[in-house]
Structure 1
């Protein structure tokens, strides 16, 4: 058997498909993408919220998953951000930089569509 384990916490959004919230290895935590959905299943929309609040919720979900895996946001080494429009970049970035003060490596791309019709999804890789 491989030396890894699935990670699950009820403090973050439940996976929207057949995957784990993260996979923990002895040295690295690979977090699945988090959308702006809370642990109760409520999805933030642009009609009821804004990209700043959505970014914060995605990162709070990542925080909960990382903590369940025995890691933390401060151990993140790589972040991937998916936006449905680069029009959201500036607002997302302002919120993002308040959480990732250690400036991990990062990619941010615009995509055609995201799960559940949300405008943002964030995933990361962290040290265990």
Structure 2
């Protein structure tokens, strides 16, 4: 098992940004950075996915290698708006679950976690 942390993504707690186990990369849930708290929902999604991309890069992977995405939304009525941004990052349509939750850390509107398959 190999712990992965990106210097480009803030360390948020007592856990790794990702863990590589065999040929799988498991990313911890990512929430929007605090500096976009007052931004529109779409920007929050975009900035969260940008951080996912930075962590994938630190692991030697990219979005095309993602096989599973789990999304937690505080307001599932924003599902369509979420998908508009999501499609730009995941054109290969990995498996996905979307769940509405009552609360997330730091009162975030969303959290995204992914599992990626590492080449080689």
Q: Decide: shared fold, TM above 0.5.
A: yes
User: Gapped runs of 5+ residues in structure 1?
Assistant: none
Runs of 4+ in 1 over 4 A off after TM superposition: none
Gaps of 5+ in 2: none
Q: What's 1:29 paired with? A: 25
SS in 2 for 1:71: coil
Superposition deviation, residue 43 in structure 1: 3.7
1:9 maps to which residue?
6
Report SS of the residue matched to 1:74: helix
* TM-score, normalization by structure 1: 0.88
* Count of aligned residue pairs for this structure pair: 118
Task: Find the partner of 1:92 among 82, 89, 97.
Answer: 82
Would you tell me which structure has more helix in proportion to its own residues?
A: 2
TM-score in terms of structure 2 length:
0.94
Written as runs of structure 1 = structure 2, the 5 A alignment for 1:1-128 is: 4-14=1-11, 16-37=12-33, 42-45=34-37, 48-128=38-118
